[in-house]
Structure 1
Amino acid sequence: MVIRKHLKLVLGLMAFAAHVAAAPVPENGPSSAPPTAPSTAANTQALTKADVDAWLDGLMPYALSRGAVAGGVVVVVKDGQVLTQRGYGYSDVEKRTPVDPENTLFRPGSVSKLFTWTAVMQLVQEGKLDLDADVNTYLDFEIPAYQGKPVTLRNIMTHTSGFEESIRKLISDETKTPAPLDTVLKRWVPNRIFAPGTTPAYSNYATGVAGYIVERVSGMPFDDYIDQRILMPLGMTHSTFRQPLPASLKPLMSQSYQTASGKAMPFEVVEPAPAGSLSASGADMGKFMIAHLANGGPLLSPETAKTMHTTFLDMIPPLNRMALGFYEQNQNGYRIIGHNGGTQRFFTYLWLLIDQNVGVYISLNSVGKDGAPSAIHNALITGFMDRYFPGTPKDGTVDAKTAAVHARMMAGHYIASRRSDSSFMRTGAFASQTAVTVGPDGGLLIPNFKTPGGEPRAWKEIAPFVWREVGGKQRLAAKVVDGKVQRFSIDAGSAAVVFEPAPWHANAAWLNPAMMFAVIVLLLTALSWPAAAIARRVYRAPLALTGRARLRYHLVRGVAVLVLFVCAGWLFIFSAMMQQGFTAINGKYDWLVILLQAAGLVGFIGFLGLALWNAWSAWTQGRWASRLWSIALLLAAGITLWAATTFGLLSYGLNY
Structure 2
Amino acid sequence: MRIVKTIALCLAALALPASGQSPRDLNPAMPLAPAKASTPVDAPAPGTGGAALTATDVDAWLDGLMPYGLESGGIPGAVVVVVKDGKVLTQRGYGKADVKTGKPVDPNATLFRPGSVSKLFTWTAVMQQVQAGKLDLDKDVNTYLDFRIPPAFGKPITLRNLMTHTSGFEETAKYLITTDPAEVKPLGAVLKRWVPHRIYAPGSTASYSNYGASLAGYLVERVSGEKFDDYVQRHILTPLGMRHSSFIQPLPAALAGGMAQGYEVASGEPQKFEIIPMSPAGGLSATGADMAQFMIAHLAQGGPLLNPQTAALMHQTANTPIPGLPGMALGFYHEDANGLNIVGHGGDTNWFHSDLHLYLDKNVGVFVSFNAGGKAGAAHILRGKLFDSFNDRYFPQPRPALPTAVTAAEHGRVLAGHYVSSRGSLTNWLRVVTMLGETTVVLNDDNTITVAALTDAAGAPKRWREVGPWQWQEVGGEDRLGALVKDGKVVALSPKAFAPIILFLPAPASLNAGWIVPALLAALVVMLLTALSWPIVALVRRRYGYRPQIAGRPLLLHRATRATAWIAVIVAAGWMAMIAVLSSDISALDGRLDIWMRLLQLLTLIAVAGTALTIWNAWTMARSPERKRLATAWTVLVALSALYLVWLAFSLKTMTFGLNF
Bin of the TM-score, shorter chain as denominator length? over 0.9
Distance between the aligned counterparts of 2:60 and 2:239, measured in 1? 33
Residue 117 of structure 2 aligns with an amino acid whose one-letter code is V
Q: Residue 81 in 1 paired to residue 87 in 2?
A: yes
Q: Which residue of 1 aligns with 2:7?
A: 10
Counterpart selection for 1:227 from 208, 222, 233: 233
Among 596, 610, 613, the residue aligned to 2:613: 610
1:13 Cα deviation after fit: 5.2
Of 171, 188, 191, the residue aligned with 1:185 is 191
1:332 is matched with which residue? Answer: 338
Corresponding residue of 1:480: 485
Mean CA deviation greater in 64-73 or 506-515? 506-515
| CA distance in 2 between partners of 1:318 and 1:524 (Å) | 53
Contact 1:67 1:368 in 2 (8 A): yes
Residue 239 of structure 2 aligns to a residue whose secondary structure is helix
Change (3 A) 1:175 1:589: same
Summarize the Cα distance change of 1:34–1:519 in structure 2 as closer, same or farther, 3 Å threshold.
closer
Q: After the TM superposition, which of the residue ranges 149-158 and 245-254 deviates more from structure 2?
A: 245-254
Which residue in the other structure is 1:249 paired with? 255
Amino acid at match of 1:599: L
SS in structure 1 of the partner of residue 130 of structure 2: helix
| 1:269-288 mapped onto 2 (5 Å cutoff) | 269-288=275-294
User: How far is the alpha carbon of 1:564 from its aligned partner?
Assistant: 0.2
Measure the CA separation in 1 of the matches of 2:376 and 2:354: 17
Q: Does 1:597 pair with 2:601?
A: yes
Deviation at 1:40, TM superposition (A): 3.8
Question: 2-side partners of 1:391 and 1:334: how far apart?
Answer: 10
**1:634 counterpart residue number:** 639
Aligned to 2:105: 99
TM-score after normalising by structure 2: 0.94
Q: Encode CA deviations 1:338-393: one digit per residue, 9 max, x unaligned.
A: 00001110110000110111111000111211011101111100111111111234
TM-superposed CA distance for 1:532, in Å, is: 1.1
Runs of 4+ in 1 over 3 A off after TM superposition: 5-9, 11-16, 18-42, 392-400
2:506 aligned with 1:494: no
Amino acid at match of 1:525: T
The 8 Å contact of residues 6 and 13 in structure 1, kept in 2 or not, is answered as: no
RMSD of the alignment, in Å?
2.1
| Aligned equivalent of 1:408 | 413
Q: Show CA shifts across 1:183-205 (max 9, x none).
A: 10000000000010110111111
2:254 aligned counterpart, secondary structure:
coil
Which of 471, 479, 497 lines up with 2:476 in the alignment? Answer: 471
Q: Which residue of 2 aligns with 1:38?
A: 45
CA distance in 2, matches of 1:370, 1:408: 33
SS at match of 1:248: helix
Structure 1 residues 590 and 572, CA gap change in structure 2 (3 angstroms): same
Within 5 A, what are the aligned runs for 1:337-352?
A: 337-352=343-358
Q: By how many angstroms is 1:21 displaced?
A: 9.0
User: What do residues 551-605 of structure 1 show as CA deviations (whole Å, max 9, x unaligned)?
Assistant: 011110011001100100110000111112x2222223222111111111221x2
Aligned equivalents of 2:3 and 2:611: distance in 1? 37
Task: Report the AA paired with residue 478 of structure 2.
Answer: K
Task: Give the letter aligned to residue 138 of structure 1.
Answer: Y
Which residues of 2 match residues 80-229 of structure 1 at below 5 A?
80-175=86-181, 178-229=184-235
Contact (CA 8 Å) 1:414, 1:502: kept in 2 or not?
Answer: yes
Aligned-partner SS, 1:143: coil
Structure 1 residue runs without a partner (length 5+): none
**What letter corresponds to residue 535 of structure 2 in structure 1?**
P
Identical positions, percent: 47
d(CA) in 2 for partners of 1:503, 1:24: 28
Deviation at 1:469, TM superposition (A): 1.0
User: What is the CA distance between 1:33 and its match in structure 2?
Assistant: 6.3
Partners in 2 of 1:569 and 1:6 — Cα distance? Answer: 14
- The 3-state SS of whatever aligns with 1:341 is strand
Whether the aligned pair in 2 keeps the contact of 1:22 and 1:452 (CA below 8 Å) is no
Once the two structures are TM-superposed, the CA of residue 34 in structure 1 deviates from its matched residue by 11
Equivalent position of 1:525 in the other structure = 530
Equivalent residue number for residue 514 of structure 1: 519
Counterpart amino acid of residue 419 in structure 1: G
- State the secondary structure of the residue aligned to 1:515: helix
User: Aligned pair in 2 of structure 1 residues 646, 32: CA closer, same or farther (>3 Å)?
Assistant: farther
Query: Who is 1:451 aligned against?
Result: 456
Q: Residue deviations 1:109-138, cap 9 Å, x none?
A: 110000000000011011111000000000
Determine the C-alpha separation between the residues in 2 that align with 1:21 and 1:449.
14
Structure 2 counterpart SS, 1:196: coil
Instruction: Count residues in correspondence.
Output: 647
The answer as to 2:371 corresponding to 1:365 is yes
Letter in 2 for 1:439: N
The question of whether the paired residues in 1 share the 8 Å contact of 2:8 and 2:433 is answered with yes
- 2:615 is paired with a residue whose SS is helix
Contact preservation (8 Å) 1:20, 1:490: no
Q: Normalized against structure 1, the TM-score is what? A: 0.95
Paired AA for residue 140 in structure 1: D
Query: Contact 1:78–1:359 at 8 Å: present in 2 too?
Result: yes
Amino acid at match of 2:606: V
Mapped partners of 2:469, 2:432: distance in 1 = 34
Structure 2 portions without partners, runs of 5+: 24-28, 33-37
Cα distance, 1:14–1:32 mapped onto 2, change above 3 Å: farther
Deviation of 1:14 (Å): 6.3
Residue pair 2:17, 2:347 contacting (<8 A) in 1 also: no
Against the structure 1 CA distance between its residues 7 and 163, is the aligned structure 2 distance closer, same or farther, given a 3 Å change threshold? Answer: farther
